[in-house]
Structure 1
Amino acid sequence: MTTNESLCLSISKIIKDYRNNEFGNYDQEHVQRWINQFEDHEQEIVLLETNRILRKNFITIEKFHEFADTVISYDGIYGKDQKDFWDHVSILQIQKQGNSQSELNEIFIDKLSKNFNVEGIINAGANNYLYIDDFIFTGNRIFTDIRDWLQSTRPNNCVVHIATIGWYVYGQHSLKTRLDKLVQDVSLNIKFVFSTYGTNIFENRLSRKDYSEIFWPTSDVESDSKIKDYVQEINVSPKYRVENGIKNRVFSRPRREEYEKIILKYGLKIMSFPKNNNSLIKPLGYHKFDLFGFGSTIFNFRNCPNNNPLVFWWGDPEAPSYHPFSKWYPLLQRDTYKG
C-alpha cells in the first residue's frame, strides 16, 4: 500500500460515520476521489495535514456523548445540588435553522431522564437555562437565537448557561460582549455563563495571528499568481501570519505554509465555478469580513461547518453536469439546510 493509499484509508476510518452515510459510503475510494482533484505533487501534503487535523478535531458522536456526561456532572453548571438543578433547569431549543440543536438536546434529555427522571424541560420557564451546541465559531447563530428568544419571551432574573464542546477565542469573546450589551439595552437581569473543555479553546484573534489555530496563510501565498490577482482585485491589504517556528497543536510546522497555500488555491478555483457568489463565501470558509475566510479546522459528525475551507465541503456529486456543484467532489458533503 502506498503512502497516499494508507492516508486515504486513515481518513476514511475517521469520517466513516459522517451523517450516518446519508451521502454514501465514505470509504478509502471516496477519499481517493476527493484527493485526485489536486495535482499529483500536492496530494501527499494535503492528505498528511488533513489526516492530522481530522484525528485531532473531528467531533464524533461518541465525543458528544462524553460531553453530555461531563456537562451533567459539572458542578460549575449545577452548583451545589445536582438533582435539584436538573429538576428545575430549562433546556433551550430555539435554533431557527436546521435540526442540530434538537438532535443534541435529545442526547441530553435521554441521559437526564435516566439519571434524574427529568421530563418536560425543553423551553420551560426557569431560573436557569441551558443552551447546548457543539462549537462556537463566530457566535453569530447563538447570538441571533438568544436575541430572538429574549424578544419573544422576555425572561428575567435568570442565568443562561451556554455549553459547547469548544470555541474559537474571538468568537466566544465577541458573543459574550454582544449578549451582555443586549440584555443591558433591553433592561433584563440575565447572566451568561460559558462552559467548555479547556483543551478545546482555539486561537483565532488578530493580535495572536502568528499563533493561530485556523487556516491563516503567510504572505508566501502571493507567489501563486491567481492568489495575488485575487488579493489585488479585492483591494484589501491582508493581515498575513508570520511564521515563528513555534509548535502548533493543529498544523505541523514543516508543511503548514504549503498546505494553506494549496487549500486557498483550490478554494479560489471553487469560487470561480458559480457566475455569482454570496458575499459571505470565501475560499477558506464563510466569513463576513475576512479576505480569505474564517479558516476553521473543526469538523463534526453532523455536518461540516461552512466556516471550514470550501475544499472540504463544497459540491454535490448528484448535481446535474451544468450545475456549479458538479465541478467539485466534497470530502464531507454539507447539507445546507441542516445544522
Structure 2
Amino acid sequence: MTNEELCQSISNVINGYRNKEFGEYDAKHVRRWISQFEDFEKQIVLEETNRILKKNFISYNLFLEFIDTLIQSPDIYVENKDSYWNRVSLLDIQANGNSQKELNTILQDKLNLLYGVPNMIAQQSEEYIYLDDFIFSGNRLTSDMESWIRNDAPLKARVCVITIGWYVYGQYKTEKRLKAFAKSLGKDINFVFDSFSKYRLENRLYRKDYSTVFWPTSIIKELPEAIAFLQGQNCDFPYRAPVGVENPVFSRSRREEYEKIMLKYGLKILSFSVQNSSVVKPLGYDIYSGLGFGSTVFSFRNCPNNNPLAFWWGDPTALPFHPFSKWYPLMQRKTYG
C-alpha cells in the first residue's frame, strides 16, 4: 500500500478512539503523526503500525464478544451455569481507570436479561469475578486484589480473574503473588485465570527471541542515545536475536528497523523533559530497568502507557513551552484523575 493508503487504513482502525474525545482520527490525523518521522522511516512505521493495530486493537465489538464468550464458558461456571450466574458477585475494586466498571455494566446488563439478576456487583458470595480488559505487568491488578483480600474477602472463595488477554509474564507473576498473599492471611482462595487464548502474548525473558513486545536487537547499538540510556540505568540489556519463524504480531522483514525507529523517537520524547519519572521509558512505562515494557496492545478506551511513547505521548492543546506540545500523539492518553 502507498503511505496515503496506510494512513487511511490506520484511521479506519482508530477513528472511534475514546468516542472522538480528542478529535477526528482521520487520515489527516495519521499524516500529522507520521510527519514527525524522517522520510526514509515513514513507510516502515506506517506498514508495521497498521499491522499491529489490526492484530491487537481491542475494539468495542471485541468487548461484546468477550462478554458473550465469558457467559458461555464452562471454565468459569464449571458445572451448573444457571446456578453460578445467579450467585456470583462481580468485584468493583479497581482503584484507577474505568475499564472494570464498563465491563461490569455490560456483563450485568446481559445477565439481567438472561437470568433476571438485577445486581451482582459487590455482593456477598463464595464465587467472585474480577473483570478487566488486559493484564500487562499485573501490578495494578495485584494492588487491587491484595486490598480486597486483606479487607473484604471471605475466608474461603473462588475468584475468576477474567480478561480479554494478558502478557504471559504479567499473568504468571500476578497469579503467584495473589496465591501467596491470600495464604499468608490464612484465606483459602482458589484463583482461576481465563482469557482469549489468541491474546496471550509472549514477554518472558527466556522467550525474548519469540516475544510479541517491542524487544530490540543489537541493531540499536547504532543509536548512541540508546546506549547512553542503558548505561544510565546500569543495565546489561538482553538483546533479542532474530529467528526465522513467523511472529503473531510483527513482520519478520520490518521488525528490527521498526523497533529501532520507535526507540529512537521514544528517546527523543524523553529528552523534552528533565523531570521524567524512573518508570517512564522510551518503549513504555516499566518498573524494571531497560528500554520499557514495549506493549503492542491498543484499546478503543485508552492507549496503555506500557506502549512505546511515540504512540501516545503528547497533547496538541498544551502550551508551546510545555514538553507535551513537542510531540503529536497517534492515540492521546486520558490520564487518571
Where on the TM-score scale, by shorter chain, does this alignment land: which range?
A: over 0.9
What is the 5 A alignment of 1:208-227?
208-227=207-226
How far apart are 1:17 and its partner, in Å? 0.7
Asked if structure 1 preserves the Cα contact closer than 8 Å seen for 2:284 and 2:307, the reply is: yes
Distance 2:313 2:164 in 1: 25
Partner of 1:279: 278
Code of the residue aligned with 2:317 in structure 1: it is: E
What is the 5 A alignment of 1:60-71?
60-71=59-70
How far apart are 1:156 and its partner, in Å? 2.0
Partner of 2:96: 97
How far apart are 1:79 and its partner, in Å? 1.7
Distance 1:208 1:225 in 2: 27
Report SS of the residue matched to 2:244. coil
What is the 5 A alignment of 1:126-275?
126-275=125-274
Asked if structure 1 preserves the Cα contact closer than 8 Å seen for 2:246 and 2:252, the reply is: yes
What TM-score do you get using the length of structure 2 for normalisation? 0.98
Partner of 1:12: 11
Unaligned runs of 5+ in 2: none
Distance 2:234 2:131 in 1: 39
How far apart are 1:234 and its partner, in Å? 2.7
Partner of 2:48: 49
Asked if structure 1 preserves the Cα contact closer than 8 Å seen for 2:138 and 2:174, the reply is: yes
How far apart are 1:228 and its partner, in Å? 2.2
How far apart are 1:208 and its partner, in Å? 0.6
Code of the residue aligned with 1:219 in structure 2: it is: S
325-334 or 147-156, larger mean C-alpha shift: 147-156
Distance 1:327 1:35 in 2: 14
Distance 1:235 1:311 in 2: 24
Unaligned runs of 5+ in 1: none
Asked if structure 1 preserves the Cα contact closer than 8 Å seen for 2:209 and 2:243, the reply is: yes
Deviation readout 1:24-81 (Å, 9 max, x if unpaired): 0000000010000000100000000000000000000000100000001111101221
Report SS of the residue matched to 1:134. strand
How far apart are 1:229 and its partner, in Å? 2.4
Report SS of the residue matched to 2:248. coil
How far apart are 1:154 and its partner, in Å? 3.5
Code of the residue aligned with 1:275 in structure 2: it is: V
Distance 2:78 2:243 in 1: 42
Deviation readout 1:101-134 (Å, 9 max, x if unpaired): 1111111111111111111210111110001011
Asked if structure 1 preserves the Cα contact closer than 8 Å seen for 2:108 and 2:119, the reply is: no
Distance 1:293 1:155 in 2: 37
Partner of 1:58: 57
Distance 2:229 2:45 in 1: 22
Report SS of the residue matched to 1:30. helix
Report SS of the residue matched to 1:62. helix
- Give the alignment's Cα RMSD to 1 decimal: 1.0
Runs of 4+ aligned structure 1 residues displaced above 6 Å come to: none
Deviation readout 1:6-39 (Å, 9 max, x if unpaired): 0000000000111000010000000010000000
Code of the residue aligned with 1:221 in structure 2: it is: I
**How many residues are aligned here?**
337
Partner of 2:290: 291
Asked if structure 1 preserves the Cα contact closer than 8 Å seen for 2:167 and 2:201, the reply is: yes
How far apart are 1:232 and its partner, in Å? 2.7
Report SS of the residue matched to 2:161. strand
Distance 2:146 2:217 in 1: 37
Asked if structure 1 preserves the Cα contact closer than 8 Å seen for 2:233 and 2:289, the reply is: no
Partner of 1:337: 336
Q: Percent identity?
A: 53
What TM-score do you get using the length of structure 1 for normalisation? 0.98
Deviation readout 1:156-199 (Å, 9 max, x if unpaired): 21100000111111000000000010011110010000011111
Distance 2:197 2:28 in 1: 36
Are 1:118 and 2:130 matched, yes or no? no
Report SS of the residue matched to 1:162. strand
